Amino acid sequence: MMQHMVRRSGAMHVARIKSSHVDKAGRRRDYQSVYLRRSFRDGGTVKHQQLANLSALPEAAISAIEAVLSGATMVAAGDAVRIESSLPHGHVAAVHTMARTLGLPALLGPPCRARDLAYGLIVSRVLRPGSKLSTLTGWADTTLGADLGITGASSDEVYAAMDWLHQRQDHIEKQLAARHLDHEVNPSRIAMFDLSSSWVTGRCCELAARGYSRDGKKGCPQIEYGLLTDPAGRPVAIRVFAGNTADPTAFRAAVTTVKDRFGLTNMVMVGDRGMITSARITALKDLGGIGWLTALRAPPSRPWLPMTDRCRCRCSMTTTSPRSPTPTIPANG
């Protein structure tokens, strides 16, 4: 009598039953049914008892049931994973994406350790402006250092990368000039230039000198730098000058850069009245191929303006009178 008893204590498992059907149009469709079953022996025959239909469950849930029935231990994600550390990444990824879209890495030069360090310095100026040493230590605080492989770089490596970048400055600026100042992409043929300054506290900068401070730090040595941009304000070239350099002198260097280094002609240089002086205008006429756009100084414009327009000129540097005899001052040199 015992041999006819049924053992229903067999192990459970997930059974996947596949089937197919061909409709009248000859199209074949495959189906899968998933069941939770228990296998047991009835006498000498192995039978299966269907406990549940799992076909409606998502695949992830079915796989989890299969794993548990196979002996795996399922735990909550919070219990299984312990966070040792985490690094900010979102802002790094955003700047990375934009820089690569603009072609910045290729613009800097061929792939090498120096390029990665220089690129890391540039990206860091957008993410968190600071000194070079501060930037160096901050690379380990975001994913930037790990992404570029520059975490742990020494200060000597960073300064060497800056020297490498300086040697490539002319090549980089020529590419930028072709991209933003060439006649095909800049039909107005306008280039804008202005001079700025930053005060310094060190004692070893050979360009540091006392001059007109745009920072309001009177009595402090400073350096000056002139920035050349396209009409939209996108930087094309930069030159650094001694802190006591006058605006017209810096402007002359910008004209030389545009004409000689970039080989551009029929350009119009835009600068303020303190930069493009009468002497510079005369030099531009003699040079040829370079026009200018600037504001009139008060003494030359006074004889041409009615009294009401003179009052307005005192309030605005760019105010001009529509009745001014413009043919006496050529706008294109």
- Are residue 197 and residue 289 in the same domain, yes or no? yes
Where are the extended beta strands (E) located within 92-161? none
Within a domain: 300:
no
| CATH for 288 | 3.30.420
- What predicted TM-score, i.e. pTM, was given to this entire model? 0.64
- State residue 192 phi and psi, 5-degree precision: -110, 145
Q: Are 112 and 71 within one domain?
A: no
Q: What's the alpha-carbon Rg for the chain, to the nearest Å?
A: 37
Is the domain of 124 the same as that of 152? yes
Q: What is the pLDDT along the chain (333 residues), one digit of tens a residue?
A: 344 444 455 688 898 988 888 888 888 888 889 999 888 888 778 888 888 999 899 998 998 898 888 888 777 766 667 778 889 999 999 999 999 999 999 999 999 999 999 999 999 999 999 988 899 999 999 999 999 999 999 999 999 999 999 999 999 999 999 999 988 899 988 999 988 999 998 888 899 999 988 878 888 899 999 999 999 999 999 999 999 998 888 888 888 888 888 888 788 888 888 888 888 888 888 877 888 888 877 665 555 555 555 444 444 433 333 333 333 344 443
pLDDT for position 272: 85
- Contact status, residue 38 vs residue 49, Cβ threshold 8 Å: yes
The torsion of the CA quartet 244, 249, 251, 256, rounded to 10 degrees, works out to -130
Tokens 């730098």 sit on residue: 225
What pairs with residue 268 in β-bridges? 190, 291
Q: Which residue among 16, 43, 78 closes a domain? A: 78
Q: How far apart are CA 297 and CA 278, in angstroms?
A: 10
> Model confidence over 294-329: pLDDT tens digits?
887 766 555 555 555 544 444 443 333 333 333 334
Q: Are 100 and 106 in contact (CB under 8 A)?
A: no
Statement to judge: residues 191 and 280 lie in one domain? yes
Same domain for 290 and 247, yes or no, is yes
Whether 322 is in a domain gets the answer no
Q: Nearest 10 degrees: CA dihedral of 165, 101, 180, 255?
A: -20
130, 230: one domain: no
Whole-number pLDDT of residue 329: 42
Q: Provide the number of structural domains found in the chain.
A: 3
* Distance in angstroms (rounded) separating the CA atoms of residues 106 and 8: 70
Would residue 234 count as lying in a domain? yes
Residue 299 located in a structural domain: no
pLDDT at 168: 96
What are the tokens at 194? 């202005």
Q: Are 299 and 323 in contact (CB under 8 A)?
A: no
284: Cβ contacts below 8 Å, ≥ 6 apart: 255, 269, 290, 291, 292, 333
Q: What is the pLDDT of residue 322?
A: 35
| Structural domain boundaries, residue 22 | 2-78
Q: Which of 29, 57, 78 is at the close of a domain?
A: 78
105 shares its domain with 63: no
What pLDDT, on a 0 to 100 scale, did the predictor assign at position 321? 34
Same domain membership, residue 142 and residue 98:
yes
Q: Mark whether 60 and 95 lie in a shared domain.
A: no
Task: Examine the fold and report which residue of 43, 78, 113 is the final residue of a domain before the chain moves on.
Answer: 78
User: Residue 320 domain-assigned?
Assistant: no
Distance CA 82, CA 240 (A): 51
> Can you point out the beta strands (E) in the chain?
6-7, 12-22, 28-42, 45-53, 190-199, 222-229, 235-242, 267-270, 290-293
If asked whether residues 69 and 94 sit together in one domain, one would say no
Q: Are residues 71 and 96 in the same domain?
A: no
For residue 20, the SS3 value is strand
Q: Could you tell me if 135 and 228 lie in one domain?
A: no
Residue 273 lies in a domain: yes
Is residue 26 assigned to a domain?
yes
For tokens 């520059």, name the residue.
150
Query: CA-based diameter of the chain, in Å?
Result: 131
Question: How much of the chain exceeds pLDDT 70, in percent?
Answer: 85
Question: In terms of C-beta density within 10 A (0-12 exposed, 13-18 middle, 19 or more buried), how is residue 145 classed?
Answer: buried
The answer to whether position 314 is within a domain reads no
- Determine contact, residues 169/185, Cβ cutoff 8 Å: no
